[in-house]
Amino acid sequence: MTKTPDEVELMAESGRLLASVFTYLEKQPLAAMSTLQVNDLVEAFIVDELKARPASKGQYGYAFALNSSRNAVVCHGVPSADEVLRSGDIVNFDITLEKNGYIADSSKTFLIGDVGPAAKRLVRTTYEAMWKGIRAVRPGAKLGDVGHAIERHAKRAGYSVVREYCGHGIGREMHEEPQVMHFGRPGTGVTLREGMVFTIEPMLNQGRRAVREEDDGWTVVTEDGKLSAQFEHTVAVTRDGVRVLTLRPDETPPIA
């Protein structure tokens, strides 16, 4: 589903506000906070400061404003008062925001305190892999080109790409067509057209790509217990390339 220029601008406003949530989080003393405390801070900031809506809350019966996926949690981690962030952790906060009827979706993996080199390398490579996918977006390209760029970068670094969860179209609904896989063959899949808006959100594992869902029906973890990292941006296909709608003001994309 393609968006009109006016719709893309409305989504860009949602994306700008969502980017400011991550800037706000960067200023918080995350170490020693519970993931539920982080959730409550984010919800209050979105509602009270930004006059927007945390789009995840109530979606599919989910009760929180964000997903908090720590260490071996791949995605969909549920905030908890009992889960306290400690020095050495990595944690992904996946946040959605709706303003004026349009939704933006983004996530970032944070380094908490003194994080070891192996975990830092995984996080850095995941961020780079997302940008490899973003840079493959242009009119006439295929979704397989995007997935291939991500997977190639991950595998060269020795990591596996989770296949069960993917990016997605987004707009008035959180999940629209198309599905955006983070693996693939060049020249295959849906052809990208100006006005398409979707997320790119690779999850990379230190070990095997196998995952399993916990008994809570939400939390997804690596089967081998090794670390997983994720980054996500909402992007729009433009006339001559790509526009990142959730780009943070302090964000410096890696050199191509």
Alpha-carbon dihedral of residues 169, 92, 221, 44, nearest 10 degrees?
A: -80
How would you classify the pairing of strands 102-111 and 90-99?
antiparallel
- The pLDDT of residue 255 is 82
> In this model, does residue 256 exceed pLDDT 80?
no
- The pLDDT of residue 1 is 78
| SS3 state of residue 74 | strand
Could you read off the pLDDT of 139-165 as tens digits, one per residue?
A: 999 999 999 999 999 999 999 999 999
pTM: 0.97
What percent of the chain clears pLDDT 70, i.e. is strictly above it?
Answer: 100
CA–CA dist 167, 57 (Å, integer): 19
Rounded-to-5 percentages of helix, strand, coil across the chain: 30, 30, 45
Contact present, 160 and 180 (Cβ < 8 Å): no
Could you read off the pLDDT of 97-122 as tens digits, one per residue?
A: 999 999 999 999 999 999 999 999 99
> In this model, does residue 9 exceed pLDDT 80?
yes
